[in-house]
Amino acid sequence: MKNYIKYVVRIFFALFFPLIVSAQEYPSLLITKANLPALREGVKEFPLLESSFLDIQRSVDAELVHKLIVPTPKDAGGGYTHELHKKNYQLLLNSAICFQITQDVQYFDLSKSILIAYANKYQSWPEHPKRKENHPSGRIFWQNLNDCVWLVNAIQAYDLIVSELSSQEREIIEKDLFIPMGEYLMITHKAVFDKIHNHGTWSIAAVGITGLVLNKPEWVNKSLYGSALDKQTGFLKQLDELFSPDGYYAEGPYYQRYALSPFILFAKALHNHKPELHIFEYRNRLLAKAIETVFQTSYTNGLLFPLNDAIKDKSIKSNELVLSNNIAYSDIDTNPTLLGIAKKQNNVTISDAGLKVARDIFLGKSKEFDYKTILIRDGKDGKKGGIGIIRSGDEDTQQTLVLKNTTHGMGHGHFDRLNFLLYDNGFEVFPDYGAARFLNIESKSGGHYLKENNTWAKQSIAHNTIVINEASQFQGNVAKAEQASPTHITLYDHDTLKYVIASDSHSYPQIKISRALVTIQINEFKKPLIVDVSYIYSGKALKTVDLPYYYIGQVVDQSKKNVEANTSLHSFGEKNGYEHLWLNSTYPLQPHGDYITLLSNYKFYKVHFASESPNNTLNHVLLGANDPELNLLPTRGIVLRQENLHEAIFAQLIETYGDINPTDETISDANPIVKNFKITPKEKNNVNISFEAGENVFQLQTDLTNNIISNIQIEQL
């Protein structure tokens, strides 16, 4: 009976909301009618566009032989119905693209039949049976988010084929699918629609793009200005709130990549339909910055820095970033270094923008992407910390340091302020663990975040950062971490000397932690030397201060000889992530003179240690304790520990050398050069660190005004 009423109401509505006004031209989104002839030609003419199209066509052709299945939604993420509905929307859109490029009616028929099939069933589906408590549900998928993604794809497909549909077919598809779906997202799940959050962006993009295509101004306006039309929510507010002025998205690069999609797709649709909005100019070309920033937060091998929750194999090749890059080049700024990214991506979207990118690459306009030494500020005002990135060298051998001191990043944030990453020579050397998750692997917690994401990956000890008293920053409390912004981060970039300094006074009560990463290019060295100094100042006595370095590769040398390894392994601690580390061996470190040397991807990394503390140990650890399900990836690290003090200085110098050729079995440049890396006793407000490199003595003066590292000076003595 209820359903019957709903039906009547819907019919009634339909009378007032006209179907597509045929004056509007289709397609009108990523592909526009005016560009179709050029696009069809371009697919034949420009290799990158051709190969990208053929990939899509092949994927569609492989499905043409199969019977379409539109199952009743049943399974959670990674499960059968979930994967099938995901596949269906991809097929729907890809087939529509194939139709427009080839004008082959079989593709049209496929896309149409998918839309009709969903239109026939959609309204019979209730909220998803596997929805999670406190998570807004979808009807096709267990999460509202996935339904939004479904609609964003489906409306693009519709836009591509609508001009060939009969008015009856349009009516079925619009009234039985798009309109109820849009209302479901906008009304039933109004809270999501109005949320300043990535999930909200997907919701308004889905409704907004659908509104543009179906010519429903109310939907468009609510998407732009919030369901109350008061501009307190909606697309523009999201652009204001979710990104920093440098285009950084607080959840980190992995989610920034994902979050960009609905922004770019909706913005491009607005750009076509409502050019008067000048959406790409909004907030000082914010979207262009956001796109550049995600590439700046990747290493030259294409992988995104795995900060916060991140699947580590996510690269700039992801579809979202192909799209973003194409739109940035085509619609915002024809910067030829973006073509360098497109060449690495080796893929373009089949779209007006992809055509332009592929054509300009074909015309030889491409330049290498400009990976920068850069400070990327966080916070909507740019005053809430940021990420410092120091780069040196050519793309294929680049040394890249990352110092993270951002806001927490909401539910996907890690307790990792002052976290340090090192990349070199094409690979990670001191990595971040990323998220503890086997994405899409159902047998591993259904493909969701593992419990070890909380017990290990988010904890401070899982990162190359300072950990005090074996507790995580902010006691592992997200709300507390969100409240307190990082204290400061600055970057200096001048010729042979570059550094980033950051501090935080909130992550541990009454304690200031600060860290400087310095690179010094000295003639004798192929690679800059890295000096890593941390200073911890406390109003109260500290039991332990730990600084881990997790590493890729193998320890091939250490100053301490005849290390006694433990004959049985116990966990390094009891909680806060320490329970997941096996302690292999422990030995005392002298204030200076100690080192370890790593062999990592055919290069040596010698890490010299200096401190002022007499109670200093090096602890060899191995990840994997308290892990009965073998959820954790075996990872080795050293944890530098200082005990029983009010202030602590950790100073490390990392020198990179060695050219090992495994094919020829040769080695050259096999010897380190740095000697006598040490701290001279701390004076008031500063600490001096000195070392010899070849014939020269260098001194690094660290200003500790206000009990944080506030400045660095280096001189050659």
Q: Is residue 584 at the binding interface for a copy of itself, with CB under 8 A as the rule? A: yes
From the list 474, 438, 437, the residue with the least C-alpha distance to 459 is 474
Per-residue x/- track, 87-106, a copy of itself (CB under 8 A): x-------------------
412 annotated active-site = yes
User: Nearest distance from residue 300's CB to a copy of itself, in Å?
Assistant: 17
3-state SS assignment for residue 663: coil
Q: CA-based Rg of the chain, rounded to a whole angstrom?
A: 28
Q: Is residue 582 at the binding interface for a copy of itself, with CB under 8 A as the rule? A: yes
From the list 69, 100, 98, 101, the residue with the least C-alpha distance to 85 is 69
Is residue 289 within 8 Å of residue 297, measured between CB atoms?
Answer: no
Tell me how far apart the alpha carbons of residues 376 and 327 are, in angstroms, rounded to a whole number: 22
Q: Which is nearer to a copy of itself, 304 or 518 (CB)?
A: 304
Is residue 317 within 8 Å of residue 329, measured between CB atoms?
Answer: no
User: Nearest distance from residue 305's CB to a copy of itself, in Å?
Assistant: 16
Q: Is residue 663 at the binding interface for a copy of itself, with CB under 8 A as the rule? A: yes
Residue holding tokens 């699947």?
311
User: Nearest distance from residue 370's CB to a copy of itself, in Å?
Assistant: 24
Tell me how far apart the alpha carbons of residues 586 and 651 are, in angstroms, rounded to a whole number: 19
Instruction: Print the SS3 string covering 276-296.
Output: HHCHHHHHHHHHHHHHHHHHH
Identify any residues that bridge with 389 across adjacent strands, giving them in sequence order.
374, 402
Count of residues in contact with a copy of itself, rule CB under 8 A: 57
Per-residue x/- track, 427-446, a copy of itself (CB under 8 A): -----------xxxxxxx--
Q: Is residue 51 at the binding interface for a copy of itself, with CB under 8 A as the rule? A: no
Q: Which is nearer to a copy of itself, 221 or 584 (CB)?
A: 584
User: Nearest distance from residue 470's CB to a copy of itself, in Å?
Assistant: 18
Q: Which is nearer to a copy of itself, 363 or 667 (CB)?
A: 667
- Among the listed residues 26, 89, 255, 449, the single catalytic one is 255
Q: Which is nearer to a copy of itself, 512 or 620 (CB)?
A: 620
Is residue 712 within 8 Å of residue 499, measured between CB atoms?
Answer: yes
Tell me how far apart the alpha carbons of residues 384 and 361 are, in angstroms, rounded to a whole number: 38
Tell me how far apart the alpha carbons of residues 140 and 55 are, in angstroms, rounded to a whole number: 27
Of 33-41, 194-202, 354-362, 666-674, the window that binds a copy of itself (rule: CB under 8 A) is 666-674
Of 221-229, 276-284, 565-573, 611-619, the window that binds a copy of itself (rule: CB under 8 A) is 565-573
Q: Is residue 485 at the binding interface for a copy of itself, with CB under 8 A as the rule? A: no
Q: Is residue 628 at the binding interface for a copy of itself, with CB under 8 A as the rule? A: yes
Q: Pick one of 72, 167, 554, 685: the residue that binds a copy of itself (CB under 8 A).
A: 554
Residue 205: its H or E element: helix 198-214
Q: Is residue 571 at the binding interface for a copy of itself, with CB under 8 A as the rule? A: yes
C-alpha dist (Å) from residue 447 to 49, 473, 626, 684: 33, 27, 20, 53
User: Nearest distance from residue 313's CB to a copy of itself, in Å?
Assistant: 4
506 annotated active-site = no
Q: Is residue 451 at the binding interface for a copy of itself, with CB under 8 A as the rule? A: no
Of 117-125, 148-156, 385-393, 657-665, the window that binds a copy of itself (rule: CB under 8 A) is 657-665
Q: Is residue 597 at the binding interface for a copy of itself, with CB under 8 A as the rule? A: yes
User: Nearest distance from residue 708's CB to a copy of itself, in Å?
Assistant: 35
User: Nearest distance from residue 668's CB to a copy of itself, in Å?
Assistant: 7
- Among the listed residues 412, 414, 463, 506, the single catalytic one is 412
Is residue 648 within 8 Å of residue 613, measured between CB atoms?
Answer: yes
User: Nearest distance from residue 47's CB to a copy of itself, in Å?
Assistant: 20
Side chain identity, residue 712: I
C-alpha dist (Å) from residue 503 to 271, 448, 515, 636, 644: 41, 33, 6, 27, 22
Preceding peptide of 47 cis, ω within 30°: no
Instruction: Report the residue count for the chain.
Output: 717
Tell me how far apart the alpha carbons of residues 317 and 319 are, in angstroms, rounded to a whole number: 6
Contact set for a copy of itself, span 667-696 (CB under 8 A): 667-668, 670
Q: Pick one of 484, 622, 697, 714: the residue that binds a copy of itself (CB under 8 A).
A: 622
Residue holding tokens 């912004």?
485
Please give the distance of CA 555 from its chain centroid, rounded to a whole number: 30
Calculate the dihedral angle through the C-alpha atoms of 219, 224, 226, 232, rounding to the nearest 10 degrees: -170
**What is the DSSP track for 230-286?**
SSSSSHHHHHHHSB-TT--BTT-HHHHHHHHHHHHHHHHHHHHH-GGG-GGGHHHHH
Q: Which is nearer to a copy of itself, 174 or 309 (CB)?
A: 309
Is residue 437 within 8 Å of residue 507, measured between CB atoms?
Answer: no
Q: Pick one of 627, 637, 642, 687: the residue that binds a copy of itself (CB under 8 A).
A: 627
Q: Is residue 336 at the binding interface for a copy of itself, with CB under 8 A as the rule? A: no
Structure tokens at 509: 């009560």
Q: Is residue 305 at the binding interface for a copy of itself, with CB under 8 A as the rule? A: no
Calculate the dihedral angle through the C-alpha atoms of 208, 210, 212, 214, rounding to the nearest 10 degrees: -150
Q: Which is nearer to a copy of itself, 75 or 174 (CB)?
A: 75
Q: Which is nearer to a copy of itself, 364 or 628 (CB)?
A: 628
Contact set for a copy of itself, span 306-325 (CB under 8 A): 311, 313-315, 317-319
Per-residue x/- track, 497-536, a copy of itself (CB under 8 A): ----------------------------------------
From the list 486, 336, 483, the residue with the least C-alpha distance to 403 is 486
User: Buried b vs exposed e over 451-462: b needs ≥16 C-beta within 10 Å?
Assistant: ebbebbbbbbbb
Q: Which is nearer to a copy of itself, 63 or 127 (CB)?
A: 63
Of 214-222, 474-482, 491-499, 616-624, the window that binds a copy of itself (rule: CB under 8 A) is 616-624
Q: What are the start-end ranges of the H helices in 46-161? A: 47-64, 80-102, 105-121, 144-161
Per-residue x/- track, 363-402, a copy of itself (CB under 8 A): ----------------------------------------
Q: Count other Cβ atoms within 10 Å, centred on residue 684.
A: 6
Q: Is residue 629 at the binding interface for a copy of itself, with CB under 8 A as the rule? A: yes
Q: Pick one of 662, 684, 695, 717: the residue that binds a copy of itself (CB under 8 A).
A: 662
Q: Pick one of 217, 275, 411, 634: the residue that binds a copy of itself (CB under 8 A).
A: 634
Per-residue x/- track, 177-196, a copy of itself (CB under 8 A): --------------------
Is residue 700 within 8 Å of residue 642, measured between CB atoms?
Answer: no
Tell me how far apart the alpha carbons of residues 326 and 427 are, in angstroms, rounded to a whole number: 27
User: Nearest distance from residue 461's CB to a copy of itself, in Å?
Assistant: 18
User: Nearest distance from residue 473's CB to a copy of itself, in Å?
Assistant: 27
Is residue 434 within 8 Å of residue 253, measured between CB atoms?
Answer: no
List contacts with a copy of itself (CB under 8 A).
Answer: 78, 83, 86-87, 311, 313-315, 317-319, 438-444, 554-557, 562-565, 567-571, 582, 584-585, 597, 599, 620, 622, 624-630, 633-634, 636, 660, 662-668, 670
Catalytic residue ranges: 255, 412
